[in-house]
Chains A and B, each alone.
Chain A
Amino acid sequence: MTIVLPILLLIFFLLFGMPIALALGIAGSIGLIINEGWQAFFGVIQTAPYDSVESFVLSAIPMFILMAAIMSVTGLTKDLFYSAHQWLGNLPGGLGIATVFAGAGMGATSGSSTASAATMASAAYPEMKRYKYSTPFAMGVVSISGTLAVMIPPSIILIMYGILSEVGVATLLIAGIIPGILTAIGYIVTILIWVKIKPEDAPTIEDKPTMLVRFQSIKYTWPVLLLIFVVVGAIYTGVITPTEAGAVGAFTVLLLAIFMRRFSLKSCNKVLLETLKSTTMILTIIIGAMIFGYFLTITGATQNLVTYIEGLDVSRYVILSIIVAVFLVLGFFLDQMAILILMVPITFPIVIALGFNPIWFGILVTKAAEIGLVTPPVGMNVFVASGAAGVKTTESFKGVIWFVVTDLIILLLLMGIPEIATWLPETMNN
C-alpha cells in the first residue's frame, strides 16, 4: 500500500492538471516520507534538483533548442520547409516525410531526443500548419521524429546502456544503425498509409511546381543545408563532440543569420525566452522524475518486481518478453535515463544468464525507451514538442498513436529477428 499510494497520487495529480514536474516531485516526496521518513526526503530534495541539472552533457539540450529557435525566428527553417515542400509536396504527406528525414538528420548529430523534438516542433510544426495539415498529424510526426535520435548514433541512451552493462559502446552504436533506419522507414510508411486513409489530414499541393521553381527554392536554403552538413561532418571527423554540436551549431546559425541580415536585437530576446521556456520545462520534469525514481528505487519496488519475474517457471522468451514489457510500462511514467539506471543493472544479469545476446538486448531496451518517450501520461517528447509548438498534449498524443503501433511492430520484428541488430556489428568486426 505504501508503494501503491504515491503511484495513485501521481496519476491523480497528473489527471487533475498539476504541472508534470511538480506532480512527479511531490508524489515521489510523499512516497519517500511515508516509506523512509523525513531524513531521506530532505536528503533527496537537497541533492536531486542540483544533480539533475549539473551536467555538461545536458547542456546539449539548451544549445540545440537555441539553435532551433534562432533558425525558426529568423525564418531559416521556413525557407527550408518551403523548399522541402516544393520538392516533396506532391508526395502524399510530403512535409511529414520531410520531417522524418530532418529528424533522422538531427538524430545523427544529436544524442538527445528531447532537444531534437523541440527543434522539430519549432521548425516543422508551423510550416505543416501553414499548409493545412491537421494538428494531430503534424504533432504526431514531430514528436515521433524526435525519437529517431535515440537509436541513430550518437545516442546517449545506447552509451548509457553500454556503461551500465559494460557491453562495448562502439559495437552498440553500430548495432543501432539498421534499427534506426528501419524505424525511419516505418514512420514514412505509416505516413503514407495514414494519408491514403485520411487525405484531408495532409493536403497535397495541387499544381506541380516546375523544376525551375524547385531549384529556385534552394536559394535561401543552401546556407542551412551547408551548415547541417558542416556540423554533422565536424562530429563525425571528431572536430567536435556530439555534446558541443549544439553550441557550435547555434553560434554558426547566429553568424549566418546576422550575415543574411535576418537577425535583430529584438528577435534576440524572443529567441532566448523561447529557449528558456523549453529547456527549463524539460529539466524541471527531469528533476521531478529523478525524485520519483529515487522513491521507486529506495523502496525496492523495481527490485521486487524483477526478483518475481526471475522466479517464474516459464520459457526464457517469456521472461525476456516480460522484461521488455516492464521497460515499456515504466516508460509510461519515468524519464528514459532513470529507467535505464534503475533497470539495466538488475535485468542485465538475468538476460545474460538466460543466454541472450547482450547487444541485441541493448537494442530492445533502447527501442522500448524510444517508445516510452511518446506514450502517455509522461511522454517527454510529446510534452516538449507540444510545449514548443504551443499545442495541447491531447492533440499530440492522439497523433502519435499510429506511430507507436508501428514502433511496437518494429520492436516485435527486432525480437523475432535478432540479426537486424547483430548483423552489422558482427560483419564489421570480421
Chain B
Amino acid sequence: VTDGTGKLPDEKITLKVADSVPSTNFISKEGIVYWMNRVKELTDGKVEFEYFPSEQLGKASSLLELTKSNTVDIAYTSYATEEMPLTEVAALPGAIPSSVKGTKMYWKLVDQYLLEESYLSNGVRPMFAVTLPKYQIITTNKKIKRLADIRGLKLRTSGGPIEVATNEIGASPVAMAAPEIYTAIERGTIDGAMLAVTSYQPYQLQKAAKYSTTNANMGSFIATYSINEVVYQKLPYFVQEAMLQAGEETMQHFSTYLDDHVEELTQTFEQEGMDMYELDGETLGNLNEEIQKTWDDWANALEARGYAGHEVLQRFEEIKQNLGN
C-alpha cells in the first residue's frame, strides 16, 4: 500500500502532537499518551510521535489554528468552542449522565452530524473525544441544602454554558485564571467554584475548600484531540485504521477511568477532611429544572447566527433515548 505522496509503509511516519495540559495530568496520561501508545503498537512502530504538552507550542485556544496551519499534526482542540459552537451540546448542564455514557453519546453525534458540520469544515478530524465527569459545586464555607443556598454565592466558572447556568440559578459567576482559584478560595475572594471532581487535585482545591456536591450536573467539558485532515488523508490506509481503532479504545479506557476515578477521589477527599455530599432529590430536581431552561436560549442564540442549534439538541436527545437513559 502506498499513500498519495508515494511513501512506503515501512518508512517511519513522525507526527507532532500538542496540547495544553501538563504531562502529569490525567487528560495527558489516560488520554493522548494512551492513544499514542496504542497507535504505535497497532502499526508495529511505523508511526512515531513528538509530543509537546503544557502549551509548549501555543495556548489552548490556539491549538485548532496551529493544527489547521499544520504547525502541528494533532492537537487538543477542546477549547475551539467558539469556532465549533455546536460541539458544546454535550457540555450543557444536565446533558450527560456519566463520562462513559456521555462519551458514547457524543461520539455518536460526531459520527452522525458534527464530523462534517464542525470538524471537517474547520479542517480537522477528531481522533477521540471524552466527556469529563459532571461539574460539581465546590464551596468554602457553605453547604448547599436547598436551591436558595446557592443564590448570591460568588462561584468561579470557566466561560460557556456553565457561566450561563451559574447565572441562571442566581449565583454570581466570577471569571478568574485557573492558577488563581486556589488563593481566591482559600482567602474567601470567592465562595467556591464549578469544576469536575477530577480537577480539584491539580489545583489543590481539596485543601482550600470544605464542601463539594457529588451528584450535581452543572455541565461538562469535552476533551478532544483532532488531526489535520490533509495530513490524515495522506496517511496510509492501515495507519488511518489503526488511529480509528486506537481512538475507540482510548474512549473506552479513558471514560471508564474517569468514572472510577471520581468514586476514588470522592473517598480520598472525604478522608482528607472534605465534606463530599449528595443533594437531596428535591433540591437536585429543582436545580436541574432551572439549569435546563438555558438549553433553549443556547439553541436560539445559535440559530440566530445560522447554526442548527435546535437540530443538534434534538439529535442529542434522541441518541440519549436510544442508549437507554
Residues of A within 8 A of B (CB): 36, 39-40, 42-44, 46-48, 50-51, 54-57, 154, 156, 159-160, 162-166, 168-170, 173, 236-243, 294, 297-298, 300, 341-342, 344-345, 348-349
Q: Bound state CA distance, A40 and B182, in angstroms?
A: 36
A170/B22 in contact, CB under 8 A? no
Is B122 part of the binding interface, using a Cβ–Cβ cutoff of 8 Å?
Answer: no
Residues of chain B within 8 A of A50, CB atoms compared = 62
CB distance from B12 to the nearest CB of A (A): 15
* Pairwise interchain contact A36-B188, C-beta atoms closer than 8 A: no
Known: A163-B22, A166-B24, A345-B56. A239 touches B189 (CB 8 A): yes
CB < 8 Å: which of A54, A57, A300, A348 contacts B180? A57
Q: Residues of B within 8 Å of A, CB-based: how many?
A: 40
Known A44-B58, A169-B204; further 19 A-B contacts with Cβ < 8 A = A43-B66, A43-B70, A44-B66, A46-B69, A47-B58, A47-B65, A154-B183, A159-B180, A163-B202, A165-B22, A168-B204, A170-B204, A237-B188, A242-B180, A242-B183, A294-B57, A298-B16, A298-B71, A341-B55
Q: Does B294 contact A (CB under 8 A)?
A: no
A46–B71 CA distance with the chains assembled, in angstroms: 11
Contact of A165 with B24 at beta-carbon distance under 8 Å, contacts A47-B59, A56-B177, A298-B57 already known: yes
| Closest chain B residue to A300, Cβ basis | B50
Residue positions of B touching A, CB distance < 8 A = 16, 22-25, 50, 52-59, 61-62, 65-66, 69-71, 175-180, 182-184, 186-189, 201-204, 207-208
For A164, give its contact among B16, B22, B182, B186 (CB under 8 Å): B22
| A166–B177 CB distance below 8 A | no
- Minimal beta-carbon separation of B200 from chain A (angstroms): 11
Cβ–Cβ contact B184 & A238, under 8 A: yes
With A170-B207, A241-B183 as known contacts, state yes or no: A297 contacts B57, CB within 8 Å: yes
Q: What are 30 A-B pairs at a CB distance below 8 A?
A: A39-B70, A40-B70, A47-B62, A47-B65, A50-B62, A51-B58, A51-B59, A55-B177, A159-B182, A160-B179, A162-B204, A163-B22, A163-B178, A163-B179, A163-B202, A164-B54, A165-B22, A169-B182, A170-B186, A170-B208, A238-B187, A238-B188, A241-B176, A297-B52, A300-B50, A341-B54, A344-B54, A345-B23, A345-B56, A348-B24
A240 to B187, CA, bound (A): 9
How many angstroms between the C-alpha atoms of A409 and B187 in the bound complex? 35
Enumerate chain B residues within 8 angstroms of A237, measured Cβ to Cβ.
Answer: 187-188
Return the contact of B182 from the options A166, A170, A239, A243 (Cβ within 8 A). A170
Nearest-Cβ distance from residue B153 to partner chain A, whole angstroms:
15
- Ranked 6 nearest A-B pairs via Cβ: A238-B187, A43-B71, A43-B69, A47-B62, A238-B188, A51-B59
